[in-house]
Amino acid sequence: MRFYTINALALVVFFGLLLAGFFGDVPAWLYILFIFIWVVITAIGSFQIKWNYHLQSLNHNYKISDNHISITFDDGPNPEFTPKVLSLLKEYNAKATFFLIGKKAEKHPGIVRQIIDEGHAIGNHSYSHSKNFGFFSAEKVAAELRQTNSILKQITGKELKLFRPPFGVTNPNIKNALKRTGHFSIGWSKRSFDTTNLSEKRILGRITSNLKKGDIILLHDGSAKTVAVLEQLLLFLQLHKLQSVPVNRLLEIEAYA
């Protein structure tokens, strides 16, 4: 993992600095600069799922021969917007993947069943989606994943294998948890920023610029803005002969155990 390589390298440099400081003069700013660089690399590596810094996430499949991409939705099910997303997907004959939050799925089992019945895939997006997820122990992360899997097994009869880390955050604890639970970590190659206050046009532009087969798009089925962007996106895909398929199909892996 890149995390270990960087840390090993950092240790070598650190001891080098100490040794140099022992035999000669090393200015304090050099130590500070060194620590600063290490913190920045670690922070970006933890928030950029695409870097695969802590663990190997599946972020795209550019080797695919068909004109396929995957639209993925995080943070549902949402009683107001998920049904709207589903009806658009049906209208354009597109299949997507929904990474569901356990505590929301518990409240809206009917929507979860509808997602499955209409041919989409589902994945695990933790139970609480806590802001502190990145600081949870491996045990706590694993417990959240198992709890959500058990809720969704009760609703659908399926044992989920796909997991999308909340906020796309990865770290050694999440890596250890996934080793225990056996989930695949699913990232993305196209982040829409549809939960920010960017305009619909900018969001659509972020997704469609340079969009190519094998890409995985991140959206959230939680706002009217995303529903509007989705319709434009589906039109774009139709025009460019790109087909959205469930992410497990794009990645050629199993969605369920």
Stretch that binds Zn ion, among 39-47, 75-83, 112-120, 153-161 (CB under 5 A): 75-83
Number of residues that bind Zn ion (CB under 5 A): 3
- Interface residue with Zn ion, options 49, 74, 204, 218 (CB under 5 A): 74
| Minimum CB distance to Zn ion smaller for 75 or for 106 | 75
What is the x/- site pattern for Zn ion, positions 135-174, by CB under 5 A? -------------------------------x--------
What does the alpha-carbon distance between residue 48 and residue 236 come to, in Å, rounded to a whole number? 27
Segment holding 155, helix H or strand E:
helix 138-156
108 in catalytic set: no
Question: Rounded to the nearest whole angstrom, what is the least distance from the CB of residue 195 to Zn ion in the complex?
Answer: 9
Distance CA 72, CA 187 (A): 10
Whether 221 sits among the annotated catalytic residues: the reply is no
- DSSP code, position 183: P
The single residue of 54, 68, 74, 183 carrying the catalytic annotation is 74
Helix (H) or strand (E) holding 176: helix 172-181
Identify the CA nearest to 99 among candidates 227, 236, 216.
Answer: 216
Which residues are CB-neighbours of 177 under 8 A, at least 6 positions away? 138, 139, 141, 142, 145
CB of 34 to Zn ion, least distance (A): 34
| Catalytic one of 68, 125, 220, 221 | 220
Catalytic sites, residue numbers: 74, 220
Interacting residues with Zn ion (CB under 5 A)? 74-75, 166
